[in-house]
Structure 1
Amino acid sequence: TAAVERINAAVRAGVPENTLPEVYPSAADLYQRELTSLQQQSPDGSLSHPELLVAVEMLSSVVLINRALDVGDRNSMWRQLASAVTGLSNVEDEYAQRYAQRQTLVCHYDYLTWNDIQACVDQVNLTIQEEHERIVAIGQINEALDGGDPQNTLEALLHSAAKLTDVDPSVAQHYYDKLLEARREKAHETEDPSAVLWLDEIQNAVLMSNKDTQEALQFSQAIQAINRAVDSGEAPKTLAALRSPGAGLYGVTPECVQNYQDDLAKIKQDKTQDGDNGSDWMKHWVKGGHNYYYNLKTGEGSWTEPADFLQNNTQLNKEDIQSVVSGVTTTYNREQLWLANESLIAKLQAGCRGYLVRKGLKERKDFLKSQDPAITTIQAHFRGYKQRKVYIKRKEYLNDHSEDAVKVRSPPTVRVINDVVKIQAFIRANKARDDYKTLINADDPPMAVVRKFVHLLDHSDQDFQEELDLMRLREEVVTNIRSNQQLENDLNLMDIKIGLLVKNKITLQEVVSHSNKLTKKNKGELSNLMMMNKQRGGLKALSKEKRLKLEAYQYLFYLLQTNPTYLAKLIFQMPQNKSTKFMDSVIFTLYNYASNQREEYLLLKLFKTALQEEIKSKVDQIQEIVTGNPTVIKMVVSFNRGARGQNALRQILAPVVKEIMDDKTLNIKTDPVDIYKSWVNQMETQTGEASKLPYEVTPEQAMSHEEVRTRLEASIKNMRTVTDKFLSAIIVSVDKIPYGMRFTSKVLKDTLHEKFPDATEDELLKIVGNLLYYRYMNPAIVAPDAFDIIDLSAGGQLTTDQRRNLGSIAKMLQHAASNKMFLGDNAHLNPINEYLSSSYQKFRRFFLAACDVPSLEDKFNVDQYSDLVTLQKPVIYISIGEVINTHTLLLDHQDAIASEHNDPIHELLEDLGEVPTIESLIGQYRRYAIVPHRSVRIGGREADPRSVPWGIFTPAPQQHMTPPLFSPFQEVEYQRAMQRRAIRDAKTPEKMKQAKPVVDDSLTLQGKKDKIRSNLQRLAELGKVHPENRYQDLINDIAKDIRNQRRYRQRRKAELVKLQQTNAALNSKTAFYNVQIDYYNQYIKTCMDNLASNKGNKQVSQKYTAARLHEKGVLIEIEDLQTNQFKNVIFEISPSEAVGVFDVKAKFMGVHLETLQLEYQDLLQLQYEGVAVMKLFDRATINVNLLIFLLNKKFYGK
């Protein structure tokens, strides 16, 4: 009693936490609300112990029902629903699923109470009762049709249980006729004489009958209106009546209105001659073959023939009216046709006359051509006659002046002179070749030889043009690389967005927005990057402070370029993620992506230094190179698989990859279970019949089938054949591999051998193989489309079979390169191990050959004069952000990268000071062309070893330097030489001009000689040159400068060709990306068009009876339903608004029962997992493979 009192007090206090027991605290509000309601209904305002006990038990059961609905546990929900504790009435076992569906819908909105649950039960019972009554009413309608009485049929249609709409008693006869027609058509289509009409078919017949009635009435009224208009004699009224939509006439032309009026009036007049029978009724034959009776006086009609019916004999019917309209219109159209073709007739006549004239001209030309021999003979005779006449006159003239004729003959020396010229040319050429060989090979070339070739130090117009072309191409290559990288990233993002669009994860508007941004960026990217020399303000502003800042950065970046130790140490001072970003952006930019030989040499030198530093400081075990991800190795591979090394991979792999892709019959599968499942799915998909084999098997069970073993043997044989093709293509391509990859392999092998002297050569070569094959070539084989190995059309992609084939080949080559055998789970591949062992020996020889490369200096022909013979200063293209980032990193780690305090980089960083802000450097554009200084500053000026005024040595041959310096010379000839130099300098572009020479060009010839003698004396005092050997040391340096200039010109020509090829390849890649952009835009446009069209035109749904699906094998069974009743069950499949989602509706005799959503991706996942059957509506058992086959055929056209 005390407990009851406490509960009643807690209820009155309105505290939910004190009301409930500790069983279900989360439902405290429910207990409080329901118990409060019961308490208020109690006469004394309190609940007794039995009442409270029963109420709490019922409410606890309600809580459990709500929990079961929340988690989707229908079994628990049904147990509580049917439990006597819950206290629900009228709960039927067979309606359990309907109860759950109804309560789930209600539960979405609020927490269910006991009254809500009881209401759901009552509503479901009522709905099912109505469905049963409707099925009985449909049966009564079919029975009334069998009775043949339209009135009984009308009464059945009006029955309230049928719930048919728009039933009009006045159309009873037409309802009866239409329903009989519908049942006959259904019996014919289904080939079932006992077929009955279902609910939707009956409702459609009623609606169609009402529509027929309305159209028949409108038609009758339109015919009556035409008769009245003809009687009035007014042609405009007749035309308006004829063009009435209700009349259904065709071919009415406004220009023939008067003829219509006259002909119709004449026909009507002929009808009245026999007299008017005075009838008010007209019978019209309407579509569908039915007669409609229309009263002319009342304007009403009926489908039933009136008593004592008599057809009015003076009214025009539709046949009379249409006959007149067609005849008049045909006559009018024929007249208009002749009028419209008058010009064509004139053209035809003109063509005939022209043909006759041309025929006569051709006959005349043929006649003249046939007379060509005679004409030629006549002309030849006439020319001969004229020539003989001239000859006779000349001969007579000479005979008359014989005494004045002088015999002249050529002296023999004329022929000799030509031979002498040839001999002299040969001697001069031979002498020039000997002098050139002396210049190239001699240790101390004489002054006379050097003088002959000193002009090679001068720069011709061709040199300047080639340098300009080289600078332009370098800039374009770097710009195109950056532009293509950005464009590729945007295209990848676009591809992801379109993929998400297909999966309905984002909206179409987001994809269109990104596409517009991509197109706009693609159009403006290149032009913006090509305007880097037009900045205003910022680092290139015309002020002394900015100029000094720019020069300081130029010296800094030149030092970083030429001394790789700084960057090599800096890379390992940063975390892995930051160093990767730093390498990708700053380092490749600093070396212009190795766009010329100088920068490629410096970049490879950096790779070498960094790799040695990484192995020295970070590698403790030799296998860490393979198992880890070394920073430098990753950077080298990324660089050599980029624009510069892409052509090499394409040349090596493209032919064999294309051959594999073109072989449509190639299918490599090495997993027995995959082969087994593919075999089973193929059988079911092709035959459309269920397989009797199990879907889940072990590898041993799969291998027990002869078909699986046969397919596996064929796959292994094919895999060995195609792998051998790849191996052959790789091992003969040593010379095609980029020098950078081979040089890095050599450095890697030598450095590892130095640190691990006990390692065998096989161990070292496996590390080299990991770099050359696994890291460099393997990804390009697995995904050739991603590395531009093959050409694919926009939107094209590799098939799943092609990717699997290439992946299997790459796996085989990887095992062969590392001498790894197939063991354990791959024991069924043991026959391949012998092939792998022999392939490793081929790979081993390939790796040894790849490491056999010349040194950097020998490959690129680099020495201390290389930077001094170039025409223009080296240029790098770097963004302001990258400049600031590099400056910051150098300041943060300067002690680590340069431990000595007198290191030049400390002085440069001190000159630059603190890191500037972006605003102080950026100016108008975000990217600058920075020219790193290559010269050494001496007393505020730049010294150049080529500043000797060679004009003083050129006029006369000398054997050494002393005579021209210590002998008089013609001032006039020297001034001419200076004028030629001034003209040449005027043509030199500003950015290519050399530093100011040590000897001022404004001095006289004698002044320059004095200046040079003074400088030579100073060099002699320093021991740099020696007067006793007549300054041969300086001549040797000048000869070396000439040789370096020659080598530079050769490298420049080769570099021009290489840059042109690279630029062409980049432009081709850009064009391919543009095609992809066009394809994506077209795809998006198609999506937009489809979206617009789908709003108005939805895809047609497909309806199947259960019997038809059972015949196809899609439907296996329906619980509690006999097979002979399948014909009355309809499954309607229709695509929903979401892509890949179908709405499936179930009907029995036309009465809608249930609806569920079926996702196509879920079916494919079930098929992939090997699930053969599934349940629909918890009652229908479906074959998954055959259902996918049906959906593909009906909705995807596969």
Structure 2
Amino acid sequence: GALDPPLSVVRKFVHLLEQSPLDLQEEQEVTRLREEVVTKIRSNQQMEKDLNLMDIKIGLLVKNRITLQTNPSYLAKLIFQMPQNKSTKFMDTVIFTLYNYASNQREEYLLLKLFKTALEEEINSKVDQIQDIVTGNPTVIKMVVSFNRGARGHNTLRQLLAPVVKEIIEDKSLGINTNPVDVYKAWVNQLETATGEASKLPYEVTPEQAMSHEEVRSRLQASSLTLRSATDKVLNSIVSSLDNIPYGMRYIAKVLKNSLHEKFPEASEDELLKIVGNLLYYRYMNPAIVAPDGFDIIDMSAGGQLHQDQRRNLGSVAKMLQHAAANKLFEGENAHMTPMNIYISQTYEKFRLFFQSACDVPEPEEKFNVDEYSDMVTLSKPIIYISIEEIINTHSLLLEHLEAISPDCNDLLHELLQDLGDVPDVETLLGEGAVDSNDPNRESTLSQLAKTEVSLTLTSKFELLEGDDKDLKTLMTKTKKLVVDVIRIQPGETLPEILETPATSLQESEHKKIVERRAVQDAQTPEEMKSSLCVLEDSQLPLEQKKRRIQRNLRNLEQAGLVSATNNYQDLIKDIAKDIRYQRRHRQRRKAEFMKLQQTLTALNSKASFFQEQMNYYDTYIKTCLDNLNRKNSRRSIKLDGKGEEKGSKKWKPQSLKYTAARLYEKGVVLEIEGLQTNQFKNVMFDISPTEEVGDFEVKAKFMGVEMEKVQLHFQDLLQLQYEGVAVMKMFDKAKVNVNLLIFLLNKKFYGK
């Protein structure tokens, strides 16, 4: 543990630097688990996207006002989520992919450095007033929040908020309502229900009129006390759980505060802490309190949803905390809440201390001991898991924005991209012949193949070639490895003494055994875990030759000012001692990481099971909705039994529809047919008939009684086009059709609307 240990002490521990078969096995296990976790994260994200699409499909069916006859208890909550900005989504996916969702400390360190740089750039170039960082909603802030809120599979917010949120949800007696008009109406309803007579009180009142009644004021007072009590519980859970806030979230809060202080030195501590509060409370925690079911804070069964009163209770608490975090007092339309303003100010003081403490974290270099990272102990090279499509998109983006990213044409990135050449296509990366050139579905097959995931072992193109000792860091590492090998076998008080004393034949023999044992293990080591050749090249030398090599290297290192013969090269010995300490910590961390990865994988598998259950439920639900379209004459409701199968009325099969193009032209459904005058439309007949698959139709076109072509029409596709604002579509590549009027026609003729 000494900062400057003598060589005789260091010598006793150098054997700890030897990589054992157990080290190799543990490293391989962690690498395998890391790959499994990253793959599962990506798989879950895809399932979540699919669920969002299913949500939209269900929403479209309801938006189209199709009457549903299913049991209300089976109704899934309907979520309308507009498609997100594609570039932001791509940046999310690729950046998190490149850093492996920060699944180990090295990658978390690098990702945080990226976030820090991006945030400082944002503040320097785009923020003119301190509030801009709040109103501008920068991409980097969204990414930081999304990442720390659970993108990599652990949900620390769940630990932080689940107990208190569950308590609020499960408290049946809790009824928080601070809206005077709502409270007034509830009171009037109660009076009428109790007496069975119409109340003489007016039904429509202003907040001021509602507050003029003693009963309303009394109920509001009781509700306010309940609200304060519930808010205190959530607040206490937050401020007492500082250690549960991810380090990355706290570090970015620190960067945010320091960068704003640098740009706006006149800004008060309060102003800066309100911005920190906007990040830590409003962006990170608030949404999870308002909608705990949407942020994996609580477990919901497929199709389950929170009751309106539960949502209002949570929303009221969140609103109080939001005002307190920003020290924003109630006024204007919230004037009825002004009695809470003293409480808001008191709560802000607690938040203020919390935000200050949250920013008090070490720099990543200290947190992750990056200065101690060394080739002496690092076994595996970094690996990333990325799809072919993402490689192509990343390459395209780099070329497209090269001037903005790297204005200096001598930058290494220019050299790299020049070597890589043009953006490759899928076949170039997968190898020619991956898809048969005669395959009629070639494009669709290539599109699927683009999603193929590969693992890439990262090595630096700019590492110096074998034997080139100009790189001082590599030279230092190589020298340390040689010194460890020598002092492990040969005793002595100082390094010069050992180097100048010839090795005995017994010592040479002992050294040879170690080298041979290491060679056997090296042969069993996977390629991606082997050290670089330039570091390993001297390891096979006999003991005396190693000593000569050390002396030569020490002269070069001394010329560079890295070591000194006057103190017997003690700086190098200190460095080896640091490596030994780090090796111990590295092994401890690896064990901890292994445990953490196992827990994460369990949580991800559980989430995947939930998504699958939800998808099965939604799938059955959509089919049931569509099936209901065919039952306009049936009054019996359709219910789903335990297996998700339908019970109810008999099948009702509608007849096909026959229209001339002239009639559909009159109705505005057909707009034009290429190559035909409108006076010829009477010779074209459209035959629309439902298929066995609910919601699918077959449309045949006949000209003068001769069948020309037929197409499949999917009702959901029409709804999707309508949702995307597409007014006109083509059928048979010739007929232009009005989408809205075609939907109206199908609804009217087939679904009794």
Q: TM-score range by the shorter chain?
A: 0.7 to 0.9
Q: Deviations 1:254-290 (Å, cap 9, x if unpaired)? A: xxxxxxxxxxxxxxxxxxxxxxxxxxxxxxxxxxxxx
Give the Cα separation in 2 of the matches to 1:746 and 1:1002. 49
Give the CA deviation at 1:1034. 3.3
Which letter does structure 2 place at the counterpart of 1:919? E
- 2:454 corresponds in structure 1 to 928
Which letter does structure 2 place at the counterpart of 1:768? V
TM-score (norm 1): 0.47
Say if 2:583 is the partner of 1:1058. no
Say if 2:452 is the partner of 1:937. no
Task: Please point out which of 78, 93, 108 is paired with 1:600.
Answer: 108
Indicate the larger mover: 596-605 or 942-951. Answer: 942-951
Give the Cα separation in 1 of the matches to 2:62 and 2:178. 33
Task: Please point out which of 910, 915, 929 is paired with 2:423.
Answer: 915
- 1:781 corresponds in structure 2 to 289
Give the CA deviation at 1:1074. 2.7
Q: 3-state SS of the aligned residue for 1:938?
A: coil
Q: Deviations 1:775-829 (Å, cap 9, x if unpaired)? A: 1111111101111111122221101111111111111111111111122232222
Number of equivalent positions: 594
Say if 2:370 is the partner of 1:862. yes
Say if 2:702 is the partner of 1:702. no
Give the CA deviation at 1:1013. 4.3
- 1:958 corresponds in structure 2 to 492
The verdict on how the C-alpha distance between 1:918 and 1:646 changes in structure 2, with shifts beyond 3 A counting, is: same
- 1:632 corresponds in structure 2 to 140
Give the Cα separation in 1 of the matches to 2:581 and 2:636. 79
Q: 3-state SS of the aligned residue for 1:978?
A: helix
Q: How does 1:987-1066 map to 2 (within 5 A)?
A: 987-996=524-533, 997=535, 999-1000=537-538, 1003-1019=541-557, 1024-1066=562-604
Indicate the larger mover: 818-827 or 639-648. Answer: 639-648
Give the Cα separation in 1 of the matches to 2:188 and 2:60. 32
- 2:3 corresponds in structure 1 to 442
- 2:127 corresponds in structure 1 to 619
Q: 3-state SS of the aligned residue for 1:622?
A: coil
Q: Which runs of 5+ in 2 are unaligned?
A: 69-83, 435-448, 469-473, 639-651, 653-753
Give the CA deviation at 1:773. 0.9
Q: Which runs of 5+ in 1 are unaligned?
A: 1-436, 509-575, 1101-1136, 1138-1198
Q: Is the 8 A contact 1:669 1:715 kept in 2?
A: yes
Q: Is the 8 A contact 1:961 1:1031 kept in 2?
A: yes
Task: Please point out which of 213, 227, 232 is paired with 1:719.
Answer: 227
- Cα RMSD of the aligned pairs, angstroms, is 3.2
- 1:463 corresponds in structure 2 to 23
Say if 2:504 is the partner of 1:969. yes
Higher RCO, 1 or 2 (CA under 8 Å, sep at least 6)? Answer: 2
Q: Is the 8 A contact 2:482 2:539 kept in 1?
A: no
Q: Is the 8 A contact 2:16 2:580 kept in 1?
A: yes
Q: Is the 8 A contact 2:97 2:386 kept in 1?
A: yes
- 2:740 corresponds in structure 1 to none
- 2:379 corresponds in structure 1 to 871
Task: Please point out which of 472, 475, 480 is paired with 2:32.
Answer: 472
Which letter does structure 1 place at the counterpart of 2:25? Q
- 2:675 corresponds in structure 1 to none
Which letter does structure 1 place at the counterpart of 2:493? Q
Task: Please point out which of 799, 802, 805 is paired with 2:310.
Answer: 802
Q: 3-state SS of the aligned residue for 2:482?
A: coil
Give the CA deviation at 1:1049. 2.0
Give the Cα separation in 2 of the matches to 1:667 and 1:986. 69
Q: 3-state SS of the aligned residue for 2:360?
A: coil
The verdict on how the C-alpha distance between 1:1087 and 1:824 changes in structure 2, with shifts beyond 3 A counting, is: closer
Give the Cα separation in 1 of the matches to 2:637 and 2:279. 54
Give the Cα separation in 1 of the matches to 2:88 and 2:598. 30
Give the Cα separation in 1 of the matches to 2:269 and 2:554. 56
- 2:520 corresponds in structure 1 to 983
Q: Is the 8 A contact 1:999 1:1011 kept in 2?
A: no
Give the Cα separation in 2 of the matches to 1:940 and 1:975. 24
Same amino acid, percent of matched pairs: 65
- 1:1155 corresponds in structure 2 to none
Q: Is the 8 A contact 1:669 1:712 kept in 2?
A: yes
Q: How does 1:155-554 map to 2 (within 5 A)?
A: 437=1, 441-443=2-4, 445-501=5-61
The verdict on how the C-alpha distance between 1:1080 and 1:505 changes in structure 2, with shifts beyond 3 A counting, is: same
Which letter does structure 1 place at the counterpart of 2:510? E
Give the Cα separation in 1 of the matches to 2:63 and 2:537. 76
Q: Deviations 1:444-490 (Å, cap 9, x if unpaired)? A: x3332222222122111221111111111211121111111111222
- 2:398 corresponds in structure 1 to 890
Q: Deviations 1:174-226 (Å, cap 9, x if unpaired)? A: xxxxxxxxxxxxxxxxxxxxxxxxxxxxxxxxxxxxxxxxxxxxxxxxxxxxx
- 1:1074 corresponds in structure 2 to 612
Which letter does structure 2 place at the counterpart of 1:652? L
Q: Deviations 1:57-81 (Å, cap 9, x if unpaired)? A: xxxxxxxxxxxxxxxxxxxxxxxxx
The verdict on how the C-alpha distance between 1:447 and 1:637 changes in structure 2, with shifts beyond 3 A counting, is: same
Q: How does 1:65-214 map to 2 (within 5 A)?
A: none
Give the Cα separation in 2 of the matches to 1:1088 and 1:621. 53
Task: Please point out which of 325, 336, 341 is paired with 1:833.
Answer: 341
Say if 2:160 is the partner of 1:652. yes
TM-score (norm 2): 0.72
Q: Deviations 1:660-684 (Å, cap 9, x if unpaired)? A: 1111122222222222334445666
Give the Cα separation in 2 of the matches to 1:1076 and 1:819. 40
The verdict on how the C-alpha distance between 1:628 and 1:981 changes in structure 2, with shifts beyond 3 A counting, is: closer
Give the CA deviation at 1:706. 4.2
Which letter does structure 2 place at the counterpart of 1:638? S
- 1:590 corresponds in structure 2 to 98
- 1:744 corresponds in structure 2 to 252
Q: How does 1:728-739 map to 2 (within 5 A)?
A: 728-739=236-247
Q: Deviations 1:876-915 (Å, cap 9, x if unpaired)? A: 1122222222222222333333333432222222222222
The verdict on how the C-alpha distance between 1:910 and 1:1099 changes in structure 2, with shifts beyond 3 A counting, is: closer
Q: Deviations 1:962-985 (Å, cap 9, x if unpaired)? A: 455440422433332233222322
Q: Is the 8 A contact 2:382 2:457 kept in 1?
A: yes
Give the Cα separation in 2 of the matches to 1:909 and 1:876. 19
Give the CA deviation at 1:917. 2.4
Q: Is the 8 A contact 1:949 1:999 kept in 2?
A: no
The verdict on how the C-alpha distance between 1:688 and 1:752 changes in structure 2, with shifts beyond 3 A counting, is: same
Give the Cα separation in 2 of the matches to 1:1071 and 1:671. 40
Which letter does structure 1 place at the counterpart of 2:527? E
Q: 3-state SS of the aligned residue for 1:953?
A: helix
Q: 3-state SS of the aligned residue for 2:510?
A: helix
Q: 3-state SS of the aligned residue for 1:876?
A: strand
Give the Cα separation in 2 of the matches to 1:964 and 1:721. 73
Q: 3-state SS of the aligned residue for 1:786?
A: coil
Q: 3-state SS of the aligned residue for 1:928?
A: strand
Q: 3-state SS of the aligned residue for 1:863?
A: helix
Give the Cα separation in 2 of the matches to 1:795 and 1:1060. 29
Give the Cα separation in 1 of the matches to 2:256 and 2:622. 49
- 1:763 corresponds in structure 2 to 271
Give the Cα separation in 1 of the matches to 2:565 and 2:99. 43
- 1:753 corresponds in structure 2 to 261
- 1:904 corresponds in structure 2 to 412
Q: 3-state SS of the aligned residue for 1:1073?
A: helix
Q: Is the 8 A contact 1:867 1:934 kept in 2?
A: no
Give the Cα separation in 2 of the matches to 1:1017 and 1:862. 27
Q: Is the 8 A contact 2:145 2:284 kept in 1?
A: yes
